Structure 1
Amino acid sequence: MQSQLEEVVRDVGPCLSSVAAAELRRRFGLTEAAARQRIARREFPVRSLDLPFSKGQSFLFLANDFQSQKFFHALTAALERNNGAYARTIQALGARGGIMPLRHLASAAALADKPGQLSAQVLVQRLVNAEVLTELDVPGQGACVGFRSTSDLDDPIAQMKARLIAEDVLLAAVKDWARNLALGSYDRFNLRGGDKPPSVARFEWDMTAPSYISGLTTWNAAAGKPDPGFLIADVLLGRGSVDERGVAPFVYKCETLRRTSRGRCMQVFLAEGFTHEALLQVRRCGAVPGRIDELFGRDVAKALKELISTLTQTAAQAADPEKFEFLFSSLGRFEGAAGRLRGALFEFVAAKLLEQSGWQEVVINKLYRENGKDLAEVDVRGCKEDVVLFVECKGITPGTVLSEDEVRTWLEKRVPAVAAKVRQTGEYNGCQLRFELWTTGELSPEAMAMVAARQAQIRSTKYTLGVRFGPDLHQEAMRHKRQPALAKVLEQHFLASPLSAVKMLVPAVAPERPIEHHGFMSEGEAKLLRYAEVDTAVVALSAAVSGFDSGK
């Protein structure tokens, strides 16, 4: 038989103890003291949340409502009336699919790390202790925070990664656009992801830049020159039209800034669209609601949606060369965007190349977990006969050298972790495990030596290692003459640089070997190849110069 308190909480839903007490008095005629006693002596399934609320209140809910949609709506409403920092954190996470990098939380939730304010670290720890949030390490993103109900699911993590890449591309586009219009100092734009978080006054933002346009500057009589204002932007993609909960932390930052800061700022919130109420809120606080299609046109808006859709896929069928061409032509023109696209889309190119080469069960971004925690991520995995291939993709600017730290991390952490997990699960018993590093850049001699040394230490029956470079992959793509689009995408968008063009002039130094039969190149062979490429490069460049001088 359910208790009076359980009946009230079941009917009212998750609520503050003051609301439950009032309903107990109204429904059962209890005195205020008796109602407080019922709440203090509550029994399962009525639970309370371990978070501080004003006037000694507690947040009550039924066990089966924990982590539900109505639980979070009621909790957010209760927190908004008591402590805004907690509410803004839940609003920020809810607007971003329930998970985000910890380093972005201060900006997204309007958390000021100042005396008298709750820092992001303290707030997260309290919500973790209350079992509302959990901290996790996501391969490629580092420390993240999310709702407990979403932290162990693949889809929210994939959507987060896709959203972050699209937002980075958009921020690069806005930076390019704004500095060309002189809305901010040309070389002083600060975007998230750098060494120092973009910040103005007490808050962090996604992009900041000092601005000397007349409407934002203030005259400094003592210095005899104007003090700059600031151009500020936050961004949220991947969720369609942003609602009032999604813009609430941004609006809070804008209103606080106007009350406490002497400087002038232009704040912009970038999104695919806004609900009517969210649009009104952004305008009321004096900020600019920046719709992508209105700023950059429908093609860019469509391309960003397509980018997010593509990056959330895990099947090789998502790798459409024509789609890549559209994305690069629409987004690659913005400074910094092409490199971000190259890194994000290279694994899809790799997956398509494996599929064309006869590999089966090709999967992109395969996560391996241990005790509910992310252990490692494999960019691309494919199977053929008795061989399982795990590919680490590094789509970097052609001619640049991949850092030795990244190679070391792949060799010493990811490869052993995945190999051990595969053996533990027995997923591919009797199959040969092959790990390869594919890159559009270069490896230093020391990095190549690290790979060779590691392979010498490991028995081939355990697993084997290999490295493949851009020209090798282009040559493999050229073997599939009935599907030339992939080779064209590789050549134009992943290998298009003077160094890569020279390397393509000398196919003889990279033997034509299908993916399933290539082997690891020793350090000595790598040096011989490098010398051959340098000699050929000199000849090719000399011929090019001669042709230019002669007017050819």
Structure 2
Amino acid sequence: MTSASAMSGNLVESIVKRDGPCLSTELARKLEAQGLTPEAARKRISRGTGGVHRLAGLVFPKGVRFFYHESDYNGERYWTALAHAVSAASPAYGPVLAALRARGGIIPRQHFSIVSGSPILQRGQVASNTVLERLEAVKLVRILDVEGVGECVALGAKGFLGGADIAGLPARLLTEKILLLAVRDWARRLGMASYDKITLRNDGALPRFGTFNWDLCGPTYLSPMVRYDKARKLQPGFLVCDAVVGEIVDEAAIAAFIRKCRLSAVMRNLPPLMPLLIADRFTREAFRLGKSRGIIMATPYTLFGKDVAIGLATLLQTLSKAAAIAVAKPEVMIELFDRLGQIEGAAGNLRGALFEMLVGHSTHATDGGSIDIGRRFASSDGFKAEIDVLRVKSHESWVYECKGYQPDHMIGAGEVKEWLEKKVPGVYAALRSHDGHASKAIHFEFWTTGSFTAEAVALLDEASKRTRRYTIGYLAGPGVRSYVAKLQVSGLTKMLDEHYFNHPISRFNRKYDATASVDAILASTNLGFDDIAYTALEDLDLEALGDMEDYDEAL
């Protein structure tokens, strides 16, 4: 005779096995539909059964738990149901997954407290670090190390929630950095925040207002935002901003930002905040939702105009397909400097990435072969590295280390020694273990628009003489300029001169040593931007950008 306990267990198991994983509240409703009272349903769920398991490590509000049958574990039905349950029932965990998906499924770990929608620490709320620990514990997210970026948080769930665009991460981060510099410029020029008090996430410590981190933050003394404290001292409000590039942002993706704004607004002692969310595109529903919550919903086009918007969209596309564009359309580099160079701080951030493209184009045009930019390699001993430029021919492989510095930047012996003793041997071993490079002659080159110290040159020369397994070479600023000048691409040498060798900051450092009047220097400086033709972007595929002219109507 079957016991009552076994019958109850069989009922719970049959429901979960038939309908799939679910929350305890949903399971209770299904038991009640079978004629059980709410109390009896609760007791049957709490007893459990052999084939049904309760998810450990993640507790939903009001003690709700997630149940699944062992036959579903780690499969598509399991992950789909868990993601749905998290999104529908947990204000602390749900927004994170949507925010990650909107950012290519991967972010630097240090940005998690910005993206998560949860506070650093706030009474009655789950802290951001705790959210990360719990999501990692149930494998909805994973921690991984990305060469050149560091420790990152990526979507897990065996890929059922979407992949992690690791290859596109550096391009997205640089584009977001330029975008945030543009927002800072906008805020400064309009007096939206104190000129020298605006902080960005790349400045060091993450910008903070209240109990949350943001991409950008600064005090504002605009009349509606200021308050007086008990001592009648003027207290500013705060401009806060988060940014997303490369994706159409929907309602789920803005939930984390809305949550940050809502939880900040209810804190009595906090000054008012002016929230700004900027993204390439919003769905109509997301745009309306954000506006209804008092958020400034902006795009690069609506905030900065068509030139900057196209420049940012092109930058993301260009860096994502750097090798192909470097070979086919090198003039795009010129236009990117021209369109985005007006943003304070942008040129310095563009130099490194675009110098890699310049080296790729120049070496390909001069010596042939196929090129790859930002290629990642790993060897069997755990070594990982990103190759700035890899040029491959039928019988040889060339590896270029690229440093796009100002001409007065000196690369020292320490940097060269690390390259010679760690990166070069590691990359060599990784290439040798790869079928495509196993039998090729391998050459390593260190190129910079700056200079090498005497000690660094001595190290390079010595390594070049003693090394037999591969060759070592190097090229400094004047040599790079001469190499590029031999090409028949209009404007490349001029770009080098204007943005690397003869940039106003470089001339200032060399000629005045930071002692003369800035106004006097600027008065004598001819940037030559009027001579640059706006032609290169006309042929690019900017389909993802859409019709910028009609964007206001589309919203």
With the shorter chain as reference, the TM-score category is 0.7 to 0.9
In the TM superposition, 1:501-512 aligns within 5 A as none
In structure 1, distance between residues paired with 2:395 and 2:319: 29
**Aligned-pair CA distance for 1:266:** 1.0
State the match for 1:522 in structure 2: none
**Aligned-pair CA distance for 1:478:** 2.2
Cα-to-partner distance string for 1:189-244 (whole Å, 9 max, x where unaligned): 1101122110011000001111122221112352x54111111111011113x111
Name the SS of the counterpart of 2:266 in structure 1. helix
Name the SS of the counterpart of 1:158 in structure 2. coil
State the match for 2:484 in structure 1: 477
1:106 aligns with 2:106: no
State the match for 1:75 in structure 2: 82
Question: Quick one: which of 97, 108, 114 aligns to 2:104?
Answer: 97
1:162 aligns with 2:179: no
Which residue identity does 1:267 align to in structure 2? Answer: P
* Farther-moved stretch of structure 1 (444-453 vs 386-395): 444-453
In structure 2, distance between residues paired with 1:192 and 1:154: 25
State the match for 1:344 in structure 2: 353
Cα-to-partner distance string for 1:4-42 (whole Å, 9 max, x where unaligned): 777755764542244245436647989737953895311
Describe the shift of the 1:71–1:171 C-alpha distance in structure 2 as closer, same or farther (beyond 3 A).
farther
Question: Quick one: which of 189, 198, 209 aligns to 2:198?
Answer: 189
Give the alignment's Cα RMSD to 1 decimal: 3.5
State the match for 1:180 in structure 2: 189
Cα-to-partner distance string for 1:434-479 (whole Å, 9 max, x where unaligned): 22222222233343344445556x6322x23222223322212222
Name the SS of the counterpart of 1:465 in structure 2. strand
Cα-to-partner distance string for 1:82-125 (whole Å, 9 max, x where unaligned): 54322232222122121110010101112322265544444323
In structure 2, distance between residues paired with 1:176 and 1:311: 23
State the match for 1:526 in structure 2: none
Name the SS of the counterpart of 1:357 in structure 2. helix
Which residue identity does 1:40 align to in structure 2? Answer: T
Conserved 8 A contact 2:113-2:119: yes
Question: Quick one: which of 110, 125, 132 aligns to 1:124?
Answer: 132
**Aligned-pair CA distance for 1:408:** 4.5
Conserved 8 A contact 1:402-1:442: yes
Conserved 8 A contact 2:229-2:235: yes
State the match for 2:437 in structure 1: 428
Which residue identity does 1:124 align to in structure 2? Answer: L
State the match for 2:502 in structure 1: 496
State the match for 1:440 in structure 2: 449
In structure 2, distance between residues paired with 1:374 and 1:271: 36
State the match for 1:291 in structure 2: 299
Which residue identity does 1:238 align to in structure 2? Answer: G
Cα-to-partner distance string for 1:271-324 (whole Å, 9 max, x where unaligned): 112112212222222221112111111222122111111111153445522222
Describe the shift of the 1:498–1:186 C-alpha distance in structure 2 as closer, same or farther (beyond 3 A).
closer
Question: Quick one: which of 300, 309, 314 aligns to 2:308?
Answer: 300
In structure 1, distance between residues paired with 2:209 and 2:142: 29
Conserved 8 A contact 2:326-2:358: no
Question: Quick one: which of 134, 147, 151 aligns to 1:139?
Answer: 147
State the match for 1:363 in structure 2: 372
In structure 2, distance between residues paired with 1:113 and 1:372: 37
Name the SS of the counterpart of 2:244 in structure 1. strand
Conserved 8 A contact 1:389-1:435: yes
Which residue identity does 1:429 align to in structure 2? Answer: A
1:375 aligns with 2:384: yes
In the TM superposition, 1:189-228 aligns within 5 A as 189-220=198-229, 222=231, 224-228=232-236
Describe the shift of the 1:489–1:263 C-alpha distance in structure 2 as closer, same or farther (beyond 3 A).
same
Conserved 8 A contact 1:25-1:35: no
In the TM superposition, 1:233-272 aligns within 5 A as 233-240=241-248, 242-260=249-267, 261-272=269-280
Relative to the length of structure 2, the TM-score reads 0.79
**Aligned-pair CA distance for 1:183:** 1.4
Consecutive unaligned residues in structure 2, runs of 5 or more: 1-9, 512-523, 525-555
4+ runs of 1 displaced by more than 6 Å? 3-7, 27-31, 61-65, 371-374, 498-502
In structure 2, distance between residues paired with 1:252 and 1:411: 49
State the match for 1:60 in structure 2: 68
Describe the shift of the 1:212–1:498 C-alpha distance in structure 2 as closer, same or farther (beyond 3 A).
closer
Describe the shift of the 1:416–1:291 C-alpha distance in structure 2 as closer, same or farther (beyond 3 A).
same
Cα-to-partner distance string for 1:48-95 (whole Å, 9 max, x where unaligned): 464233436224377678475x76664344235654322232222122
**Aligned-pair CA distance for 1:421:** 1.5
Which residue identity does 1:251 align to in structure 2? Answer: I
Describe the shift of the 1:24–1:367 C-alpha distance in structure 2 as closer, same or farther (beyond 3 A).
farther
In structure 2, distance between residues paired with 1:125 and 1:388: 43
1:51 aligns with 2:92: no
Describe the shift of the 1:499–1:134 C-alpha distance in structure 2 as closer, same or farther (beyond 3 A).
closer
Relative to the length of structure 1, the TM-score reads 0.79
Describe the shift of the 1:306–1:187 C-alpha distance in structure 2 as closer, same or farther (beyond 3 A).
same
Name the SS of the counterpart of 2:487 in structure 1. coil
Conserved 8 A contact 1:244-1:278: yes
1:390 aligns with 2:399: yes
Sequence identity percentage: 32
Describe the shift of the 1:190–1:372 C-alpha distance in structure 2 as closer, same or farther (beyond 3 A).
farther
Consecutive unaligned residues in structure 1, runs of 5 or more: 503-532, 535-547
In structure 2, distance between residues paired with 1:499 and 1:132: 47
In structure 2, distance between residues paired with 1:181 and 1:269: 17
Conserved 8 A contact 2:379-2:429: no
* Farther-moved stretch of structure 1 (294-303 vs 364-373): 364-373
Conserved 8 A contact 2:326-2:357: yes
Describe the shift of the 1:155–1:327 C-alpha distance in structure 2 as closer, same or farther (beyond 3 A).
farther
In structure 1, distance between residues paired with 2:506 and 2:194: 35
Which residue identity does 1:252 align to in structure 2? Answer: R
Conserved 8 A contact 1:343-1:395: yes
State the match for 1:524 in structure 2: none
In structure 1, distance between residues paired with 2:36 and 2:228: 66
Which residue identity does 1:226 align to in structure 2? Answer: L
State the match for 2:428 in structure 1: 419
Conserved 8 A contact 2:23-2:64: no
**Aligned-pair CA distance for 1:428:** 1.9
* Number of equivalenced pairs: 494
State the match for 1:540 in structure 2: none
